[in-house]
C-alpha cells in the first residue's frame, strides 16, 4: 500500500475501485467456474450412466441366452453417440463378450469389472460401469470410456462469457467513478490550491466559495473558513505585539549597550536566555556558551549551589524566594574559577505565558576591599591606641615590682643584726629582682630584635634543677610579699641536681618567669604549679598551670600578639607590658621547641612549651636517674609486666628484679601481654620484648594502646639497627633499650619512669 501514498486522491480512488473489481472478478470467476464444472461433471456422469443402463437392458435377453452375436450388433450401434470412444460388455463371470472401439482406439479387456454402478473422470476421460440386472441377478456388465473434450470446451465458453460480462461491468463502474470524482475531487482540489496560495502569500483573509450541500466536503470548507478567520485575527494581534516588542527591544538594546553592569535574563527554570556585553566581560563567557545553561552553573560558586537550588525550588513553587525582588551581596565566580564580591539585583517578569527573572550583577570587589580595609584600619588604630595606652600605664607597675624587692631587702639589710643573719638570702633576692628589672628593660629591646629578626640565643650545657629551684624561690618570695592565698608548687621529672640540658639559661629563665608572673597576676586562690616531664625520650615538656580566671577559647591567640592582653573586669589584673608572652613564644621556638596554651574560662589555664633533650649530656640514663653506686633500687608499690619468651632472659630478669620489691607479672608472648594488661589495669610499666611468638611486641603494643594510653611501655630487643628506635616509638612505646641489658641502666630507666609517673 506504500505505492498509493504519493498518488493523488483521484488516482487513489480509481486504483482502489480497480483493485476491488479485479479481486471481485477473480473470486466470482473462480466460484462460478468451480460450481459450473462440478455441475457439468455430475450431469455427464448421470447422463452416461443412463446410457450404459440402456445398453445393458437391450442386451439382457441376448446375455441370458448367451447369444453374443446379437450383443455385438447392439453394441456397435453406440457409434451414434459421438463422445463414446470404447464400449465393452462382460458376462456375469467378467468375460468380455462384445466390444466397440472408435477408430483405432482399442481398449484392452479389463481383468476385473465392478459389480456396482461406477462413474469417474480421469485424464480427460469418463469411465462408466453399469451392471445388467434381471430379476435381481447380474447377467452382465457394461463398461464405457467417454471423451470429455466437448465438456471442457463448454466450460471454457462459460468462463469466457463471465469475463466479458465482468469487463463490461468494470468499464461502467470506472465511468461512474469519474462522474463521482467531479463531485468530490474538484472541490478538494480547489481547497488545496487555496491552501497553497495562503501558504505562499501568507494572506489569511481569502473568501471561500463553499459548495452546496451538507456533505463532509461542504463541512470541511466551512470549518476551514472559520480557521482562516481565527488565524487572520491572531496574525493581526501578532503584528501589533511584534511592533510593541520591537519598540521595547530597541529601548532595551540602548540600555544594554550603555550599561556597565552585567544583565542576565533567565526563564522560569532559571536557564539563561540573555547575556549582555557587560556580562560577557565580567564572567568571561560568550552568550553562545551560556545560552540555555543553568544560571547557578555560570554565576554561583560550587559550595553555594545547594543553597541556591533550594531557594530556586521555593521560587518555582511560590514565585518568590530570598533572591527575588531585592538587592543583595554575594560571592560570584567567573569562567576562570576566580571568585569576586558581587552586588545582585533580581526582578521577576511575566509576559503572556512566559515568566522569568532579570538579574543585574555588579562587581563590588574593590568596594568591599576598601570597606574591609577601612574597618580593619579603624580596628587596628583603636586596638593599637588601647594597647599602647595599657602598655605605658602598666610599665610603671612592672618596674616598681622588682624595685620594691630591691629597696625592701636593701632596707632589711640595713637594720641592725639582719646583715649577718640574712645576708646571703637577702642579697640573692636583691640580685634576682635586679635581674628581673633588667629583664623588663630587655623585653623592650627583645621585642624590637624579634621584629627585626636579630634576636639570638646562646645554648650551653646547664644544670636544670638548680635553675628551677632559683625560679621557685624568687616567685615564692614575691608571693609572700603580695600575701595572695594561693599555693606555689614545683614538680620535676628528675630529682638529681646534676640533671643537664642544653639551652640558653637566661632565655629559659625569661620564659618561665614570664609564664609564672603572668599566672600570678590572674590567680587569686588555689595554686600555681610549674615543672617539667618527659614528653618523649628526646623532648622535655615544661608547663605552668594555674587555677585563675582562665580565658575564652576565641581569645587564646590574642595573648601571644604584641601588647596583647585580654580584658578583665578587674582592672588591677591588667598589669604587664603585654610583651612577655610574645617574647616567650618566640624564645621557645628559637630554643628548638614550641609554645601553646590550654584554658577553660573561670577554671584556669595551662601554658606549655617544649625543649629538646640530649640523653648524652647526663651520666645517667636518658631520664636523668643517677648511676652512682649505692643508688636505692627499690620499686616498692609498683607493678611491672615483663613480656619475654626466652627462658634464659626470663631467669636473668627474675634475678635483676628480685630486690626491687615491685610486683612482677610475666607473659611469654604478645597475646598474653595484651590479655594480662587488660585484666590488670594497675600495671605501671611493661618491659616489652619485640621478637616473640604468637604476637610480636609491635602488635602487642598497638593493641594495648587501644585501651590503655597511660601505662609505660619500654621496648627491649636485640635489634640495634638504625631506625629501630623510631619504629618502637611509632608503635606506641615510651622508650627503647637494647640487649644485652646492663643492670644499672635498666634500674635507672625503671626508676626514672616510675618516679616521673607517680609525680
pLDDT tens, residue by residue, 237-262: 777 777 766 666 666 666 666 677 88
Q: What is the mean pLDDT of residues 611-629?
A: 59
Better pLDDT: 185 or 82: 82
The x, y and z cell numbers of residue 107, run together, are 481398449
Predicted pLDDT of residue 569:
42
Measure the CA–CA gap between 623 and 753, rounded to whole angstroms. 7
| Helical H segments across 492-636, by residue range | 505-521, 580-590
Q: What is the mean pLDDT of residues 451-472?
A: 85
Cis preceding linkage at 740, omega within 30: yes
Predicted pLDDT of residue 214:
61
Measure the CA–CA gap between 229 and 211, rounded to whole angstroms. 18
**Lookup result for grid cell 587555677:** 547
Measure the CA–CA gap between 744 and 150, rounded to whole angstroms. 146
Better pLDDT: 268 or 607: 607
- CB contact at 8 A, 440 and 399: yes
Q: What values do phi and psi take at 269, rounded to 5?
A: -95, 10
Predicted pLDDT of residue 627:
39
- CB contact at 8 A, 402 and 431: no
CA torsion, points 130, 136, 139, 142, in degrees to nearest 10? -10
Question: How is domain 378-617 classified at the architecture level of CATH?
Answer: 2-Layer Sandwich (3.30)
The x, y and z cell numbers of residue 72, run together, are 455385438
Beta strands in 516-583 (DSSP E): 526-536, 539-546
Predicted pLDDT of residue 683:
93
Does the fold of domain 639-758 match that of domain 9-156?
Answer: no
How many CB atoms are located within 10 Å of the residue 549 CB?
20
DSSP secondary structure of 359-427 = EEEEE-HHHHHHHHHHHHHHHHHHHHHHHHHHHHHHHHHHHHHHHHHHHHHHHHHHSTTHHHHHHHHHH
| Helical H segments across 522-665, by residue range | 580-590, 647-657
Measure the CA–CA gap between 142 and 474, rounded to whole angstroms. 165
CATH number assigned to the domain with residue range 639-758, chosen from the 4 options 3.40.630.10, 3.40.50.2300, 3.30.70.2190, 3.90.245.10: 3.40.50.2300
- CB contact at 8 A, 540 and 533: yes
Q: Is the pLDDT of residue 38 over 80?
A: no
Q: What is the mean pLDDT of residues 683-693?
A: 92
Measure the CA–CA gap between 546 and 543, rounded to whole angstroms. 10
The closest of 533, 525, 441 to 482, measured between CA atoms, is: 525
Give residue limits of the domains in the chain: 9-156, 259-363, 378-617, 639-758
Better pLDDT: 42 or 393: 42
CA atoms 205, 206, 212, 215: torsion sign: negative
Predicted pLDDT of residue 207:
62
The model's confidence at residue 589, banded by pLDDT at 50, 70 and 90, is very high
Q: What is the mean pLDDT of residues 150-164?
A: 72
Predicted pLDDT of residue 395:
65
What distances in angstroms separate CA 724 from CA 239, 539, 622, 649, 745, one per listed residue? Answer: 91, 18, 17, 21, 19
Inter-axis angle of helices 647-657 and 743-758, to 10 degrees?
A: 60
Better pLDDT: 170 or 482: 170
Share of the chain above pLDDT 90, in %: 16
Predicted pLDDT of residue 479:
62
Lowest mean pLDDT among 351-355, 367-371, 471-475, 566-570: 566-570
Measure the CA–CA gap between 263 and 347, rounded to whole angstroms. 11
How many CB atoms are located within 10 Å of the residue 407 CB?
13
Residues 6+ positions from 293 with CB-CB distance below 8 Å = 271, 272
For the chain, the average pLDDT equals 78
The x, y and z cell numbers of residue 291, run together, are 545560552
Q: Is the pLDDT of residue 152 over 80?
A: no
What CATH number is given for 9-156 in this structure? Answer: 3.30.450.20
Better pLDDT: 78 or 203: 78
Q: What is the mean pLDDT of residues 456-482?
A: 81
What CATH number is given for 259-363 in this structure? Answer: 3.30.450.20
3-class DSSP assignment, residue 351: strand
What is the tens place of the pLDDT at every residue in 108-133?
A: 888 778 788 888 888 778 888 989 88
Residues 6+ positions from 137 with CB-CB distance below 8 Å = 92
What is the tens place of the pLDDT at every residue in 708-744?
A: 998 999 998 766 554 677 788 888 998 888 777 778 7
3-class DSSP assignment, residue 554: helix
Q: Is the pLDDT of residue 501 over 90?
A: yes
The closest of 686, 653, 658 to 672, measured between CA atoms, is: 686
What is the tens place of the pLDDT at every residue in 305-362?
A: 888 888 777 776 776 776 665 678 888 888 888 989 888 888 777 766 677 888 888 8
The x, y and z cell numbers of residue 649, run together, are 632472659
What is the tens place of the pLDDT at every residue in 592-608?
A: 999 999 999 889 999 99
What is the tens place of the pLDDT at every residue in 438-452?
A: 767 767 677 777 777
The closest of 553, 559, 612, 610 to 583, measured between CA atoms, is: 559
The model's confidence at residue 573, banded by pLDDT at 50, 70 and 90, is very low
Helix (H) or strand (E) holding 642: strand 639-643
3-class DSSP assignment, residue 49: helix
Predicted pLDDT of residue 148:
78
Residue 329 CA, chain-centre distance (Å), reads 30
Better pLDDT: 756 or 511: 511
The x, y and z cell numbers of residue 618, run together, are 647526663
What distances in angstroms separate CA 644 from CA 114, 651, 686, one per listed residue? Answer: 124, 10, 11
Amino acid at each position: 500500500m506504500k505505492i498509493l501514498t504519493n498518488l493523488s486522491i483521484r488516482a487513489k480512488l480509481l486504483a482502489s475501485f480497480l483493485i476491488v473489481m479485479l479481486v471481485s472478478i477473480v473470486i466470482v470467476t473462480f466460484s462460478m467456474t468451480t460450481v459450473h464444472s462440478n455441475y457439468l461433471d455430475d450431469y455427464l456422469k448421470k447422463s452416461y450412466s443412463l446410457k450404459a443402463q440402456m445398453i445393458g437392458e437391450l442386451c439382457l435377453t441376448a446375455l441370458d441366452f448367451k447369444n453374443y452375436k446379437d450383443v455385438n450388433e447392439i453394441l456397435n450401434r453406440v457409434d451414434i453417440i459421438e463422445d463414446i470412444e470404447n464400449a465393452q460388455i462382460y458376462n456375469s463371470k467378467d468375460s468380455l463378450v462384445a466390444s466397440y472401439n472408435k477408430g483405432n482406439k482399442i481398449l484392452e479387456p479389463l481383468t476385473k469389472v465392478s459389480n456396482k454402478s461406477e462413474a469417474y473422470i480421469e485424464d480427460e476421460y469418463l469411465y462408466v460401469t453399469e451392471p445388467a440386472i434381471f430379476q435381481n441377478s447380474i447377467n452382465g456388465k457394461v463398461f464405457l470410456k467417454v471423451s470429455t473434450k466437448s465438456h471442457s470446451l463448454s466450460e471454457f465458453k462459460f468462463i469466457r462469457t463471465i469475463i466479458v460480462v465482468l469487463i463490461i461491468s468494470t468499464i461502467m463502474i470506472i465511468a461512474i467513478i469519474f462522474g463521482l470524482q467531479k463531485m468530490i475531487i474538484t472541490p478538494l482540489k480547489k481547497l488545496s490550491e487555496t491552501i497553497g496560495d495562503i501558504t505562499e502569500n501568507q494572506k489569511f483573509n481569502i473568501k471561500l466559495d463553499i459548495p452546496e450541500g451538507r456533505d463532509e466536503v461542504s463541512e470541511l470548507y466551512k470549518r476551514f473558513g472559520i480557521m482562516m478567520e481565527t488565524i487572520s485575527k491572531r496574525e493581526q494581534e501578532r503584528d501589533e505585539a511584534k511592533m510593541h516588542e520591537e519598540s521595547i527591544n530597541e529601548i532595551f538594546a540602548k540600555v544594554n549597550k550603555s550599561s556597565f553592569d552585567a544583565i542576565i535574563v533567565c526563564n522560569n527554570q532559571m536557564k539563561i536566555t540573555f547575556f549582555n556585553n557587560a556580562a560577557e566581560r565580567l564572567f568571561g563567557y560568550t552568550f553562545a556558551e551560556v545560552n540555555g545553561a543553568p544560571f547557578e552553573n555560570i554565576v554561583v560558586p560550587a559550595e553555594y549551589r545547594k543553597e541556591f537550588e533550594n531557594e530556586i525550588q521555593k521560587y518555582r513553587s511560590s514565585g518568590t524566594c530570598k533572591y527575588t525582588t531585592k538587592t543583595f551581596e554575594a560571592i560570584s565566580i567567573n569562567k576562570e574559577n576566580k571568585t569576586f564580591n558581587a552586588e545582585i539585583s533580581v526582578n521577576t517578569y511575566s509576559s503572556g505565558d512566559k515568566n522569568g527573572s532579570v538579574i543585574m550583577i555588579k562587581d563590588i570587589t574593590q568596594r568591599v576591599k576598601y570597606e574591609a580595609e577601612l574597618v580593619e584600619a579603624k580596628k587596628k588604630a583603636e586596638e593599637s591606641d588601647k594597647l599602647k595606652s595599657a602598655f605605658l600605664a602598666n610599665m610603671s607597675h612592672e618596674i616598681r615590682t622588682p624595685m620594691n624587692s630591691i629597696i625592701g631587702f636593701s632596707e632589711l639589710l640595713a637594720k641592725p643584726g639582719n646583715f649577718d643573719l640574712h645576708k646571703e638570702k637577702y642579697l640573692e633576692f636583691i640580685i634576682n629582682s635586679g635581674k628581673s628589672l633588667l629583664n623588663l628593660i630587655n623585653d623592650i629591646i627583645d621585642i624590637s630584635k624579634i621584629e627585626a629578626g636579630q634576636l639570638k640565643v646562646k645554648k650551653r650545657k646547664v644544670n636544670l634543677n638548680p635553675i628551677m629551684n632559683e625560679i621557685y624561690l624568687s616567685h615564692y618570695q614575691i608571693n609572700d610579699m603580695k600575701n595572695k592565698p594561693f599555693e606555689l608548687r614545683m614538680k620535676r621529672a628528675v630529682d638529681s641536681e646534676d640533671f643537664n640540658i642544653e639551652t640558653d639559661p637566661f632565655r629559659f629563665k625569661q620564659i618561665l618567669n614570664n609564664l609564672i608572673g603572668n599566672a600570678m597576676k590572674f590567680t587569686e586562690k588555689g595554686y600555681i604549679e610549674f615543672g617539667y616531664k618527659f614528653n618523649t625520650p628526646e623532648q622535655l615538656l615544661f608547663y605552668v598551670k594555674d587555677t585563675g580566671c582562665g580565658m575564652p577559647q576565641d581569645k587564646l591567640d590574642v595573648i601571644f600578639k604584641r601588647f596583647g592582653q585580654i580584658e578583665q573586669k578587674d582592672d588591677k589584673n591588667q598589669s604587664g607590658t603585654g610583651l612577655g608572652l610574645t617574647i616567650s613564644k618566640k624564645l621557645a621556638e628559637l630554643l628548638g621547641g614550641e609554645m601553646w596554651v590550654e584554658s577553660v574560662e573561670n577554671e584556669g589555664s595551662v601554658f606549655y612549651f617544649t625543649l629538646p633533650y640530649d640523653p648524652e649530656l647526663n651520666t645517667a640514663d636518658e631520664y636523668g636517674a643517677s648511676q652512682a653506686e649505692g643508688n636505692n633500687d627499690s620499686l616498692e608499690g609498683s607493678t611491672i609486666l615483663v613480656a619475654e619468651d626466652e627462658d634464659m632472659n626470663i631467669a636473668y630478669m627474675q634475678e635483676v628484679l628480685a630486690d626491687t620489691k615491685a610486683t612482677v607479672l610475666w607473659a611469654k608472648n604478645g597475646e598474653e601481654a595484651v590479655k594480662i594488661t587488660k585484666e590488670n589495669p594497675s600495671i605501671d610499666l611493661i618491659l616489652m620484648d619485640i621478637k616473640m611468638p604468637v604476637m610480636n611486641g609491635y602488635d602487642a603494643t598497638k593493641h594495648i594502646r587501644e585501651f590503655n594510653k597511660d601505662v609505660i611501655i619500654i621496648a627491649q630487643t636485640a635489634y640495634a639497627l638504625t631506625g629501630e628506635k623510631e619504629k618502637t616509638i611509632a608503635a606506641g612505646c615510651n622508650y627503647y633499650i637494647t640487649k644485652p641489658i646492663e643492670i644499672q641502666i635498666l634500674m635507672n630507666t625503671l626508676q626514672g619512669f616510675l618516679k616521673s609517673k607517680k609525680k
